[in-house]
Amino acid sequence: MGVTIALLHPGAMGASVGAAAVAAGATVVWVGEGRSAATRARAGEVGLEDAGRLADALGAADAVLSVCPPHAATQVAEAVASEGFAGIYVDVNAVSPATAERVGDAVTAAGASYTDGGIVGPPAWQPGTTRLYLSGAQADAVAAWFAGGPLEAIPLSGGPTAASALKAAYAAWTKGSAALLLAVRALAGANGVEAALLDEWDRSLPELSGRSASTAARTAPKAWRFSGEMDEIADAFTAAGLPDGFHRAAAEVYGRLARFKGAGGVDAEQVLDALREPRP
Ligand SMILES: NC(=O)c1ccc[n+]([C@@H]2O[C@H](COP(=O)([O-])OP(=O)(O)OC[C@H]3O[C@@H](n4cnc5c(N)ncnc54)[C@H](OP(=O)(O)O)[C@@H]3O)[C@@H](O)[C@H]2O)c1
């Protein structure tokens, strides 16, 4: 018999991770209680079974896979621990190594074993697009749940939170530099020189005009959850004795864009205007 996994929760990434585990032979249940219509629809589309309440899902599961907004990772772990779950707990969220350690402490105190994870790439619907890095004593066993499916699971050597450390370093560049680019363009706008900056970029750095516009449209709908991820990354810089200010500022940039949560058809000017207004 394959492993039974309680997936918390089937978001854009989580639904694809759940589907990848099913494709590799696992049974995946999820917890409908408290979740939105969008999450219900995604879970239904990929044929995951709704166990209803957390306690019922945990009662049926050998393992928990936490795939939620980074700022909710600890709370989800504490809820699972409070049910006395004693199986394998896997947190694949974009959190700092220190938060991963706290998540691990919470679930192991209740009797579970902990595996750390970090995902790089878009939702894993196609092979070759998305990697799930894993660390900890059970990393090889967890990787086996995805063998042959579209999500490539890669056990890492290193400490128990190596996967979160790798994800933090990766996203520090991708999402950190995206926030910087938006802030730079907003700065030019605030000083009345945005058109002149775009003209200069077209002459000397021709990729930046288009990249700044597409970055604004692409990131604004997800900025609400990037903000917490940037704070996690800043914490990782602090813990490593490095300056954390880049990513504290990136958290503020994304925090100012939280109003675009889930919005479609956002244009760059709307986003840059929002960036110039401090958070309420
Ligand atoms: N999307 C990507 O391309 C991508 C890439 C790499 C890594 N990741 C990582 O994957 C994780 C999840 O991302 P995602 O794209 O699946 O996010 P998402 O589409 O926003 O989905 C988040 C899921 O978590 C639930 N949720 C929202 N607020 C919650 C809370 N406070 N407590 C518990 N659950 C909550 C949501 O349920 P409701 O619908 O009820 O709100 C939804 O089912 C994140 O850690 C992210 O960094 C994502």
pLDDT at 265 over 90: no
**pLDDT given at position 279:** 62
| Mean predicted confidence (pLDDT) in 4-31 | 97
Band (277; pLDDT cuts 50, 70, 90): confident
d(CA 271, CA 256): 9
Residue closest via CA to ligand 1's atom 22 equals 11
Asked if pLDDT for residue 280 goes beyond 90, the answer is: no
pLDDT digits (tens, 9 = 90+) for 157-188: 999 999 999 999 999 999 999 999 999 999 99
Give the model's pLDDT for residue 1.
Answer: 62
Domains of the chain: residue spans and CATH: 4-160 (3.40.50.720), 167-275 (1.10.1040.10)
Distance in Å, CA 13 to ligand 1 centroid? 7
- How much distance in Å is there from the Cα of 12 to the middle of ligand 1? 7
Question: CA 261, CA 31: separation in Å to the nearest integer?
Answer: 23
CA atoms of 253 and 176, how far apart (whole Å)? 10
Does the CB atom of residue 123 touch ligand 1 within 6 A?
yes
Phi and psi at 29, nearest 5°, equal -110, 160
For residue 9 the two structure tokens come to 């929760």
Q: What is the pLDDT of residue 180?
A: 98
Distance 102 CA to ligand 1 centre (A): 19
The response to whether residue 122 sits with its C-beta less than 6 Å from ligand 1 reads yes
Give the residue-averaged pLDDT of 260-266: 91
Half-sphere exposure of 47 (CA within 13 A, CB side): 7
- pLDDT of 133 reads 98
